[in-house]
Amino acid sequence: MTVLVVGGAGYIGSHMVKTLKKNNIETVVFDNLEKGHLEAIKDTLFHKGDLRNKDEVESVFQNHKITAVMHFSAYSLVGESMEKPEIYYENNVFGTLNLLNAMKKAGVKHFIFSSTAAIFGEPVKLPINEDHPQKPTNVYGETKLAVEKMLDWYDKIYDIKNVKLRYFNAAGADPSGEIGEYHETETHLIPLILQAALGERKHITIYGNDYDTKDGTCIRDYIHINDLTDAHLLALNYLEIEKKSNFFNLGNGCGHSVKEIIAVAKKITGKNIKVINGNRRPGDPAILIATSKKAKEVLDWSPKLNNINTIVETAWKWHNGTAKKWKKNYA
Ligand code: UDP
């Protein structure tokens, strides 16, 4: 079996590559390196290309005998998606269309899709299960939902079976410290806090402390990156055995507030992190918590690194180690 990991040089993709290799599954990475890093996928078969270029996408299927595709490549910044919707539709929707058409041409039938909690929009009930209404409040979530729908039709019409995995807040890093989250423009809470701990930022700004939550700050369901990649592996197995499509919400089922995450980070880093209270970020729901009961029952998935201390500890090991070296190389 050979798995094509699209966006395999990025944060989640590179952890997936590591998990696949650990399980002795052959892996080919397709990435345009716009956001990904070759250092993250050392000793991996790499095919440079852009999803928006049909010929480049087709060529990876001509050069390798692919059995299944895992698709991690997308623009994923909510704020940016509200300023430049066209690049989100082009990359996330049109790019995925090219990928599916190339799969159709090559006769590849199994597809695992990185979807998101953002397809649900403002929660009407908590925890969020798979039946929750789907009403995205931003273009990013809308493009992911558009792909989910496209996948249903490609299943019905072309028999391409898919598993859609809706991540809540992906966080943490491989416990080895070798790879982790590295974005040129960082917007995510945990990396920003840890960069503040390292003195790379002056402070962390809390986006709103007047929410209707226990301490006034937003609550999110943080899920370790390696627990996510485990779910992909199980999804791959599911497609091989069941040969049918399905969809799952992936989270730990418990929420942590922004203030709680800052407190955990202070404890783990032993650093004094300067905190500033800022305005709410437009489009941020107060609470997002998943239930992953379905993934547990159907895929037999059980998150192992689900303690928030472990999530922040692994992220800290990365940020305080290899990430610093990367920073020097990219400076
Ligand atoms: N957040 C914050 N300050 C920051 C970045 C994020 O208070 O500098 C909050 C944000 O409002 C949200 C939570 O942290 O409630 C997680 O945000 P992140 O961008 O990491 O993930 P998202 O929930 O948007 O997917």
- Per-residue pLDDT of the chain (331 residues), as tens digits, is 999 999 999 999 999 999 999 999 999 999 999 999 999 999 999 999 999 999 999 999 999 999 999 999 999 999 999 999 999 999 999 999 999 999 999 999 999 999 999 999 999 999 999 999 999 999 999 999 999 999 999 999 999 999 999 999 999 999 999 999 998 889 999 999 999 999 999 999 999 999 999 999 999 999 999 999 999 999 999 999 999 999 999 999 999 999 999 999 999 999 999 999 999 998 889 999 999 999 999 999 999 999 999 999 999 999 999 999 888 777 6
Tokens matching residue 281:
């970020």
Distance 218 CA to ligand 1 centre (A): 8
Q: Is 222 an annotated catalytic residue? A: no
CA distances from residue 273 to 200, 301, 307 in whole angstroms, order as listed: 11, 35, 21
Q: How many alpha carbons fall within 13 Å on the CB side of residue 146? A: 17
**pLDDT of amino acid 185:** 87
Return the amino acid letter for 5.
Answer: V
Q: At what angle do helices 189-197 and 308-319 cross, to 10 degrees?
A: 60
Residue 201 dihedral angles phi and psi, to the nearest 5°: -130, 150
DSSP, residue by residue, 284-295 = --SEE-B--HHI
Nearest CA to ligand 1 atom 4: 189
If you compute the radius of gyration of the chain from its CA atoms, what whole number of angstroms results?
19
Q: Is the peptide bond before 127 cis (omega within 30 degrees of 0)?
A: yes
Q: Which of 120, 189, 221, 276 to mutate to test the pocket of ligand 1 (most atoms within 8 A of CB)?
A: 189
Separation of CA 206 and ligand 1 centre (Å)? 8
Centre of ligand 1 from the C-alpha of residue 189, in Å: 5
Q: What is the DSSP string of 71-107?
A: E------HHHHHH-HHHHIIIIIIHHHHHHHHHHHHT
> In angstroms, what is the span from residue 10 Cα to ligand 1's centroid?
20
Residues 100, 57: Cα–Cα separation, whole Å? 10
Atom of ligand 1 nearest to the CA of 187: 19
Candidates 189, 82, 97, 181; CA nearest to 140 is 82
Tell whether ligand 1 has an atom less than 6 A from the beta carbon of residue 258.
Answer: yes
Strand-pairing partners, residue 29, are 5, 46
- Ligand 1, atom nearest to 208 Cα: 7
Q: How far is the CA of 39 from the centre of ligand 1 (A)?
A: 27
Q: Which of 113, 127, 122 is nearest to 74 (CA)?
A: 113
Hey, what are 98's tokens? 């090219």
Structure-block tokens of residue 227: 């627990």
The atom of ligand 1 lying closest to the CA of 117 is 25
169 lines ligand 1 (CB under 6 A): yes
CA–CA gap between residue 179 and residue 326 (Å, rounded): 10
Mutate to test the pocket of ligand 1, among 144, 220, 257 (most ligand atoms within 8 A of CB): 220
Q: What is the pTM of this model?
A: 0.97
What the block records as the tokens of 305 is 């690194």
How far apart CA 171 and CA 261 sit, in angstroms, is 12
**Among the listed residues 120, 117, 113, 104, the one whose alpha carbon sits nearest the alpha carbon of residue 148:** 113
The verdict on the CB of residue 37 being under 6 Å from ligand 1 is no
Question: How far is the C-alpha of 159 from the C-alpha of 156, rounded, in Å?
Answer: 6
Ligand 1 atom with least separation from CA of 116: 25
| Model pLDDT, residue 282 | 85
| Residue 163 bridge partners (DSSP) | 112, 246
Catalytic residue among 140, 182, 222, 238: 140
